[in-house]
Amino acid sequence: MAVHLHPLRRHLVFGSLASALLLATGCSKTARPTAKTLAREATLLCLGDSLTFGLGTASGSSYPQVLERLTGHVVQNAGINGDTTAGALARLPGLLQGNAPGLVLVSIGGNDFLRSMPLEGTRNTLKQIVQMAVANTQTVLIAQPRPVLMALATGSLKDHEVYAEVAAEAGVPLFADGWSYVLSRPELRSDHVHANTEGYRIFAERLAEWLRERKYVA
């Protein structure tokens, strides 16, 4: 004999079955990678180029320094002007050993694009950087924009697609549209490829909010 359920009861029953199925099969493909909230004494390591170093602003106003004030965590600025993915990869082992960070933020690759280095080489080196960092600690990849002069003129910079590809392959979170947002706005730039004091502040604020939303920082 058929059993007829009240619509509300039917909704609750099927909702419970769906929840049980989700628990049994694990998280969905679209679920965000889980983050472990950093201990209060944990440090952050910012690996990058001139955008991490803070070219275009006064001392004390780089994004890692602003991020330190916003999160309360000690933040190591490992940005070098003009550095490439190859240079960052060579520096990373010593930085990991010397700092033992709880989180590594990787923002590198723009100079590879500006110098028209082979994209496949940049992709492979960027992937090696992320894999090395992941083997030691939690890691976030930060996208940089594709440097197109017309996009700069019209305020429509977009992240280079290589970052989304590497993040997906390596299984790490991607902080997207951070630099593209800032560098698309003339009032936030010191020149065509660097932020100014306000730009670095806004970038750090957006990044700090993103890290809190994903439970990396309290």
DSSP string, 123-148: HHHHHHHHHHHHTTSEEEEE--B---
The third-level CATH classification (topology) of the domain covering 35-213 is: Rossmann fold (3.40.50)
Contact 125, 85 (CB under 8 A): yes
Q: CA-CA distance, 206 to 2, in Å (whole number)? A: 55
pTM of the model: 0.83
DSSP 8-class letter at 195: B
Structure confidence at residue 131 (pLDDT): 98
Q: What is the pLDDT along the chain (218 residues), one digit of tens a residue?
A: 443 444 434 333 334 333 333 333 333 333 345 689 999 999 999 999 999 999 999 999 999 999 999 999 999 999 999 999 999 999 999 999 999 999 999 999 999 999 999 999 999 999 999 999 999 999 999 999 998 754 555 568 999 999 999 999 999 999 999 999 999 999 999 998 999 999 999 999 999 999 999 999 99
SS3 26: coil
Residue 67: the pLDDT is: 98
Residue 35: what pLDDT? 87
What's residue 19's pLDDT? 36
Q: Assess contact for 186 and 155: CB atoms under 8 A.
A: yes
What is the pLDDT, as a whole number, of residue 148? 74
Q: What does the pLDDT read at residue 12?
A: 36
Nearest to 200 by CA among 70, 61, 107: 61
Q: Where are the alpha helices (DSSP H) in 79-177?
A: 85-99, 110-114, 119-134, 149-154, 161-170
